[in-house]
Structure 1
Amino acid sequence: MHSSLKSNPSSRLFLIPSKSTSTPYPIFTFPRKFSSYKSLRTSIDIQQEGVSKEEELILPSNVTRRLPIVIKSSGRVSRYFLKGDSLELVCVVDEDHDDTTSFGLDVGFLKLIRLSSSAAKDFFIPKQVSDSYISYVKWKFLHRVFSSALQVLATQAMFRAIGIGQSRSLASSAAFNWILKDGLGRLSRCIYTASLASAFDTNLKRVRFSTSVLFSLSIGVELMTPVFPHYFLLLASIANIAKQISLSCYLATGSAVHRSFAVADNLGEVSAKAQIQTVCFDNLGLLLAVLLNMLFQNNQRLQASLPFVLYPIFSAIDLLGIYQGLKHINLQTLTKNRLEIILERWIQSRQVPSPAEVSKEEGVDLLGSRASKRVWQIRIGWLDPKAQIPKLSMMAMQSLCNDDGYFITLELSSHGFRRTPRPGIVICLREGANSLDVITSLLQSCYIRKAFVTNRLKRKDASFSDLSLQDWSFLAGESKVAARDDFTEMYKQMQEQGWIVKNVLLSAEEQVRYIFDQHQSLTL
């Protein structure tokens, strides 16, 4: 199963080996002996006919070289170009698919249709589903459209039965109320779920708690309607939008939460019991509200002010219960953040933590401050040309070959309000990369970060110029060997601890892949 993870001399992970494997300082230290660095040597040599490879790969400022890396995102195809010592990401036109001129059709119109179709597909369809999912969605479309229409007709009939809507003005007002209140609420719910589809998997606890806060605020908006009766429709519409967004998050994350508790694959039973709990607990809440109203029914003034007095108290208790409950959800699925916690613990103690231990360390992390506090942040995605990219990383991109499943580079990007440049590590995954590639690349990046933190590059204002080509080559090779040597035992422990290692859930930004283009050796 893991044979594909053995070290392959022809597979280069941005390696540019030097003649000597020694470094001027111990930049990397492991608790055991590793394979010889010479086993990772490739056909690229630093010295070749008296000219260093570093000098050969750095271009004059007036020369542009096309790199073998193509990025496809949101219907756009972009390619990296190296111009002198700077990196550029340029949107290119796919000439292989530009056959519209032979039919005499408008290129811009067909391009608009193609982009619209791609956007609609990304809006409604997940990225990784079975082949039968499209057919299921077609029949679901038929079911939901006519079911919703029947509900509207039934509601109108009920209004007529009690005398509402007999006049044209009332009918028009009811229709206007439906469009603003319910229509805008459902539309906002649709837009929200589409924009945060992957976040329901990667940041489940954070999204669920934030939408719970939003739901609590919507209750406060509804309580303000008696104070501002002239703005009833506006306030009700705003509150309904917030409730619909919160409901969408609750429904989207419910199955993942139930699955985390179903240790015997009894997902149906856990979901059914959860519905029973919800109905019973909600009825107790209704009973509490009725009793409080009955208690103050003889004092209309106190009864009118009761919601404003109880709202902050009940909301605080509500959010406290949600926050504490989320801490007890031990998700077994792997995300980038959870995997990073696991790999750090593995490097420190050679032991894989359980889902409960990772959940305790992960917490809810409302503002995502855990990752931002690190000196060397690890990021999965595409390389941002706006960030400061060291020359050795640019040379690594030029030496990329067809056997590489990913490559790792360094960057110096700005974060926070002060926009202070901070060093970071970027993992770029190739199209078709699986969970093994994600785990291996992240483990290698954690080893690289450990080397930086424990040596002279620990300081926050570290300059990439402090890292020589020889040091980076040695660090890359040893970290790659360490990751591949550790993988089998670590993977076994992850399975024993109950982690679902089949897939690694990534956000939309982390799902961006590069495509290797063999026809890249062009200098413009």
Structure 2
Amino acid sequence: MYSQRQSEADTGCKLDASDLKDSVELVVGALHPLMYVIDNDSEMKMFLEEHVPTNTGSQDLDISNMELSWLPKVIKDFVLPSGYPGNRHHMAVGVGSFSGTSAAASAAAIRWVSKDGIGALGRFFIGGRFGNLFDDDPKQWRMYADFVGSAGSIFDLCTPLYPSYFLPLASLGNLAKAVGRGLKDPSFRVIQNHFAIAGNLGDVAAKEEVWEVAAELLGLSLGILALDTPGISKSYPTLALTWLSVRILHLWFRYQSLSVLQFNTINLKRARILVNSHVLHCTVPGINECNRMESILLWQRFLRPRIIFEVSLEEMINGRKYRSMIKQLLHLYKGEKYFLVVNQLNPTDIQVFVSFKEGATSLSVFRSVWQTYWLYQNWGWSDNIFDQLEQSLVELKDRFPDLLQQLTDAGWDTNNLSLKVPKEMSIKELPAPS
């Protein structure tokens, strides 16, 4: 049975044209993509299809792929930038050397593995696993970096209380600080680039270094002054309270400094604010107002309505209700680069599942957000879910051009949307053979 189906998939699934009059073939992109064939009775059949990469015509790209063909995909995604090698120049990794006496080497190795090595592993994990998040929301991750770094300092502060546990406490402190630095550096580079409006990133980075060193010197001076004060240095509770007060003040200043940043690019948080305003009032807030309204601390998953991207086809059509209307949904979204369905959690709350087709762009993500908010604000006017989806698409088609025009007039950069399309799972629509 498997061989027969694989053969059918390899030959393009040659079926009679009359049987495919109202049919659509969907291919879910993956390492071993699955082909879904929906017939006139809404029965879904699944086939395995071998993926044959297309020739992009770029010799450098082909050479890079050949050189790294031996490397598993999961490792490539972890250690290489997203989209490599198509969006990066040639890369190189430097290798250093170590020399010294055996005693010094042993001591350094023990210290590195037990304390510094754990911190290095933290940065290694953050850079490999979350490297694609910092461009979307640098304010949030810069703030989280300070929270995590503060947690690391708490472990250091606890070492005098538990001297016998110095090594594990210091190791956990280094780990937290390293994770905080792993969050801080990439997100801050994005913020630095935001300030370099004249292409003077090097100058901006150098002046930032001056301010940072000045602040560090001031902090060291205040620290020495505090330690020389008997009432502070000889009383641990007073010392801990002083540290806590300074740390809270630091976090508050950090939050205020990030709150005044004004990005003219549209990420998912700002897209939600802009779209909600347009759906309700047919207007959009300006750059200053929208950036003030943007929540720095709140995660996307806690925003309402909840939007879940990169949903598999099985999840989207799960249940008899969607399975019975699958052909209607396919026809409904033939003009869009995504599929969107609604899961009503309770009478007052809904969540939206979105899956993107091959060829979807950031604009497709933006359109799906607009449709989501229209459904959220107008949900329940009809008992027929399909009617509500259809009406939302009609509204999207009529009103979305006005949204883009208002954004352009307000100074928003609509040509550089920070709305990434998930690439791990996509749906390919194939025309039925004639």
Instruction: Return the TM-score normalized by structure 1.
Output: 0.65
TM-superposed CA distance for 1:76, in Å, is: 5.4
CA contact (8 A) 1:435 1:501 kept: no
Structure 2 residue aligned with 1:486? 399
CA contact (8 A) 1:434 1:503 kept: no
Alignment RMSD, CA only? 3.9
Q: Does 1:405 align with 2:318?
A: no
Residue pairs, 1:350-499, within 5 angstroms: 350-368=282-300, 371-372=303-304, 374=305, 377-383=306-312, 385-386=314-315, 390-391=321-322, 394-399=326-331, 404-412=336-344, 423-452=350-379, 455-456=380-381, 466-467=383-384, 469=386, 471-472=387-388, 476=390, 478-499=391-412
CA gap of 1:485–1:503, structure 2 versus 1, over 3 A, is same
Distance 1:200 1:367 in 2: 13
CA gap of 1:286–1:83, structure 2 versus 1, over 3 A, is farther
TM-superposed CA distance for 1:199, in Å, is: 2.3
Amino acid at match of 1:207: W
Q: 1:445-489 CA deviation, whole Å, 9 max, x = no partner?
A: 33333331xx546xxxxxxxx2165x34xx52x443433343444
Q: Does 1:301 align with 2:234?
A: yes
Structure 1 residue aligned with 2:27? 70
Amino acid at match of 2:205: S
Q: 1:193-241 CA deviation, whole Å, 9 max, x = no partner?
A: 2222232233433333223111111111112223333332222221111
Distance 2:44 2:126 in 1: 32
Distance 2:401 2:302 in 1: 29
CA contact (8 A) 1:381 1:512 kept: yes
TM-superposed CA distance for 1:492, in Å, is: 3.1
CA contact (8 A) 1:383 1:426 kept: no
CA contact (8 A) 1:407 1:428 kept: yes
CA contact (8 A) 2:233 2:239 kept: no
CA gap of 1:256–1:405, structure 2 versus 1, over 3 A, is same
Pairs aligned (count): 397
TM-superposed CA distance for 1:79, in Å, is: 5.1
Structure 2 residue aligned with 1:231? 165
Please state whether the residue corresponding to 1:493 is helix, strand or coil: helix
Structure 2 residue aligned with 1:321? 253
Structure 1 residue aligned with 2:60? none
Q: 1:243-271 CA deviation, whole Å, 9 max, x = no partner?
A: 11111111111122223344545444333
CA contact (8 A) 2:29 2:424 kept: no
> 2:79 is matched with which residue: 100, 104, 124?
124
Residue pairs, 1:94-173, within 5 angstroms: 94-95=49-50, 117-128=72-83, 131=86, 133-135=88-90, 137=91, 139=92, 141=93, 143=94, 145-146=95-96, 149=97, 152-153=98-99, 156=100, 168=103, 171-173=105-107
CA gap of 1:306–1:510, structure 2 versus 1, over 3 A, is farther
Please state whether the residue corresponding to 1:432 is helix, strand or coil: coil
Structure 1 stretches lacking a partner, 5+ long: 1-55, 58-65, 99-112, 157-164, 415-419, 458-465
Amino acid at match of 2:309: I
Structure 2 residue aligned with 1:160? none
> 1:513 is matched with which residue: 423, 426, 432?
426
Structure 2 residue aligned with 1:254? 188
Please state whether the residue corresponding to 2:351 is helix, strand or coil: strand
Distance 1:88 1:323 in 2: 51
Q: 1:126-160 CA deviation, whole Å, 9 max, x = no partner?
A: 3346746251x2x2x1x3x23xx3xx54xx5xxxx
CA gap of 1:290–1:393, structure 2 versus 1, over 3 A, is farther
Please state whether the residue corresponding to 1:255 is helix, strand or coil: helix
Structure 1 residue aligned with 2:4? none
TM-superposed CA distance for 1:80, in Å, is: 5.3
Distance 1:88 1:214 in 2: 48
CA contact (8 A) 1:198 1:507 kept: no
Q: 1:361-417 CA deviation, whole Å, 9 max, x = no partner?
A: 222133547514x4xx34432246457554365233554787652232223469xxx
Structure 2 stretches lacking a partner, 5+ long: 1-20, 54-67
Please state whether the residue corresponding to 2:228 is helix, strand or coil: helix
CA contact (8 A) 1:67 1:79 kept: no
Distance 1:247 1:285 in 2: 19
TM-superposed CA distance for 1:286, in Å, is: 0.7
Please state whether the residue corresponding to 1:363 is helix, strand or coil: coil
Residue pairs, 1:22-41, within 5 angstroms: none
Residue pairs, 1:210-229, within 5 angstroms: 210-229=144-163
Instruction: Return the TM-score normalized by structure 2.
Output: 0.76
CA contact (8 A) 2:308 2:353 kept: yes
Distance 1:89 1:450 in 2: 36
CA gap of 1:333–1:180, structure 2 versus 1, over 3 A, is farther
Percent identical among aligned pairs is 23
TM-superposed CA distance for 1:192, in Å, is: 1.7
Q: Does 1:271 align with 2:228?
A: no
CA contact (8 A) 1:67 1:520 kept: no
> 2:122 is matched with which residue: 188, 206, 213?
188
Structure 2 residue aligned with 1:501? 414
Distance 1:518 1:253 in 2: 43
Instruction: Look at both structures and tell me which one has the larger radius of gyration over its CA atoms.
Output: 1
Amino acid at match of 1:431: E
